[in-house]
Structure 1
Amino acid sequence: MAEVAAGEPILDVRDLVKHFPVRVGVLFKRTVGYVRAVDGVSFDLKAGETLGVVGESGCGKSTLAQVLMRLEPPTSGSASFEGREIFRMRGAELRRLRRDIQIVLQDPYTSLNPRMTVGDIVGEPFEIHPEVAPKGSRAGRVRDLLEVVGLNPEHINRYPHQFSGGQRQRIGIARALALRPKVIICDEPVSALDVSIQAQVMNLLGELQDEFGLSYVFIAHDLSVVRHLSDRVAVMYLGKIVEIGTEEEIYEHPMHPYTQALLSAVPVPDPTLRGQRQVIRLEGDVPSPVDPPSGCRFRTRCWKAADVCADEVPELVPRGGGHPSACHFAEERSVVP
């Protein structure tokens, strides 16, 4: 595949849709509806960039990751990597894609095989892609990878249960690095870790990005987590991106009511500033993705909702001279002192 220059899109996603059928019956199952997990998502990822994808649990973030990894087939839409359509790849071309796009999973306690040593876990990609490393050099490569992620290479024969949660996630990162990928999809890689360990893993990911020129799609449910690492941020709600912009645009000049509500819930360390921040409390629960609201999907919880919100789906376009936001009444609102 052709190389992509820094600043150029390496991954381009357009109108991606993933619906899961809802079936009832024991013998003769019939489809009674669809879970609209991802429903028309578009974005691009530039070489060397980190795109944060943020939203509440159940908004479709992990499904998006699975579809991009070809672990789930899309219902419709397209995604291209270095200018070539991902969902049309077969054979050797698909094998190459598996090398170039890797994933770091959420739970370091279940994503590692407890019956395999760390050396076998990190070295397993070389068994699947033997062209990357000759057999005689694999042990040395595994030791180098462990050292790169901050682990002792002498622990190569230990098992996952002998490591802490943060160390296990470093093992997962080393495994993702083994094939020298260009893009790593990080599916909530720090959500299962203590706060102090989260910072260490985030710093490691930043260092690895600088060292190896990686591009990240960084998925999280907490806006405060992705700010340190992300160049741009996409906010998802019920299968759709409702706002996307640079780190400064999203955190300093949020336009969509949902983004403003998420930011207002971010803890403020300084107690003298807590009383100055207006907290936005959303009413009701997240609607079911099987039967989402008409028009704007956020309207059932939005304080700005009007008749037009039920009748028309707001497009994700720049509004008021700002960045793209999918709201008929988008306006900048400061929620963080």
Structure 2
Amino acid sequence: MAEPDEPVLEVRDLAKLYPLTQGVVVKRRIGAVRAVDTVSFALRRGETLGIVGESGCGKSTVAKLLVSLERPTAGTIHYRGEDITRLSGRALRAVRRNIQMVFQDPYTSLNPRMTVGDIIGEPFEIHPEAAPKGDRRRAVQELLEVVGLSPEHLNRYPHQFSGGQRQRIGIARGLALRPEVIVADEPVSALDVSVQAQVVNLMERLQDEFGLAYVFIAHDLSVVRHIADRVAVMYLGRFAETGTGPEIYDHPTHPYTQALLSAVPVPDPVARTRRTRILLPGDVPSPANPPSGCRFRTRCWKAQERCATETPVLAVPTDLAGPAAHASACHFAEERTEVRA
């Protein structure tokens, strides 16, 4: 058993490159898509790390790497101190029991030809030691109750449920093996706002009940604010800024984070008039050909010559104090209070 402060999951310099090839008969490599590039973080028991950013920034690739659906090009993933990036066969299967995933789309992540009982009970077929054959039906019924569904739904099919109910089924499947870590890849993005709140509240309750650690991936900053203990803002394969929820949301120092927060809708008309919307020029650069130096510099209003030649390190700026003193990958990190959400 790990010590209380020892990370359950520790990621060091994680990178994933997808080769670009040319030719039909003889293929030659002409480049690579840098989906994830030198990402590092630690996750402790009962903690939630929120990863936010625009579509295409590499969030879902990080999720696939964590559950070994993809192999990293470089870097390591340590679970309970063990490097799991090169495991295979029985050793990998044992680790996967403790690191489960909740997928983004509740409509395509559930097999339409399987009943709910078969979907939730399928992990027991792969890991029979988790539930003896005679106890599986009862175990599935208990999981349905845990996520707020009726045990009588055991023999129904996914098309007979709403989107929110389907996501609850996906969560129940993720809980079946009693994992320590759940990687949730945009688990509420396909749901209505009211249903989003129900699913987020359910995940918070389950976290308290089972001591789960979450990697919660989303593009909606307001959702992450409610569930995450720490937040990592991702841009073009790298973390641009990391910190606690209050540090990121109330004291952002990276221009990209400030721009994202300025776009969050504010229900208060008075507060809305006091806030300046930051409009970023141009499009997100291609991950196959990222800008030199700071990857955000082509859209940043603070960019100077240094930004093109020197890659900023994700570190705490020495000239900032208080809540603004958290890790930011910017040469000119400073607080901009008017974009608080």
1:212-223 superposed matches below 5 A = 212-223=210-221
1:103-182 superposed matches below 5 A = 103-182=101-180
1:45-124 superposed matches below 5 A = 45-124=43-122
Q: CA deviation at 1:91?
A: 3.4
Q: What corresponds to 1:336 in structure 2?
A: 340
Distance 1:220 1:238 in 2: 15
Contact between 1:185 and 1:216, CA under 8 Å: does it hold in 2? Answer: yes
Q: What corresponds to 2:24 in structure 1?
A: 26
Q: What corresponds to 1:276 in structure 2?
A: 274
Cα displacement string for residues 147-178 of structure 1 (whole angstroms, at most 9, x for unaligned residues): 10011110100000000000000000000000
Distance 2:158 2:97 in 1: 24
SS of 2:17's partner is strand
SS of 2:26's partner is coil
Q: CA deviation at 1:88?
A: 2.9
Contact between 1:145 and 1:177, CA under 8 Å: does it hold in 2? Answer: yes
TM-score for the superposition, normalised by structure 2: 0.97
Q: What is the identity, as a one-letter code, of the residue corresponding to 1:225?
A: V
Q: CA deviation at 1:336?
A: 2.2
Q: CA deviation at 1:241?
A: 0.4
Gaps in structure 2 of 5+ consecutive residues: none
Distance 1:184 1:276 in 2: 39
Cα displacement string for residues 80-107 of structure 1 (whole angstroms, at most 9, x for unaligned residues): 0000001132333212111000000000
Q: What corresponds to 1:190 in structure 2?
A: 188
Q: CA deviation at 1:243?
A: 0.5
Q: Of 310, 325, 328, which aligns to 1:325? A: 328
SS of 2:78's partner is strand
Contact between 1:295 and 1:312, CA under 8 Å: does it hold in 2? Answer: yes
Q: Of 292, 295, 301, which aligns to 2:293? A: 295
SS of 1:107's partner is coil
Residues 270 and 7 of structure 1, relative CA distance in 2, 3 Å threshold: farther
Count, aligned residues: 335
Distance 1:89 1:83 in 2: 14
Q: CA deviation at 1:47?
A: 1.2
Distance 1:126 1:278 in 2: 52
Q: CA deviation at 1:10?
A: 0.8
Q: What corresponds to 2:257 in structure 1?
A: 259
Q: What is the identity, as a one-letter code, of the residue corresponding to 1:304?
A: K
Q: What corresponds to 1:205 in structure 2?
A: 203
Q: What is the identity, as a one-letter code, of the residue corresponding to 1:336?
A: R
Contact between 1:6 and 1:48, CA under 8 Å: does it hold in 2? Answer: no
Q: What is the identity, as a one-letter code, of the residue corresponding to 2:88?
A: R
Distance 1:68 1:220 in 2: 16
SS of 2:110's partner is coil
Name the Cα RMSD after superposition. Answer: 0.9
Contact between 2:251 and 2:340, CA under 8 Å: does it hold in 1? Answer: no
Gaps in structure 1 of 5+ consecutive residues: none
Q: What is the identity, as a one-letter code, of the residue corresponding to 2:336?
A: R
Contact between 1:4 and 1:47, CA under 8 Å: does it hold in 2? Answer: no
Cα displacement string for residues 100-143 of structure 1 (whole angstroms, at most 9, x for unaligned residues): 00000000000000000000000000011000000000000000
SS of 1:324's partner is coil
Distance 1:197 1:271 in 2: 25
Distance 1:61 1:5 in 2: 29
SS of 1:314's partner is coil
TM-score for the superposition, normalised by structure 1: 0.98
Contact between 1:5 and 1:47, CA under 8 Å: does it hold in 2? Answer: no
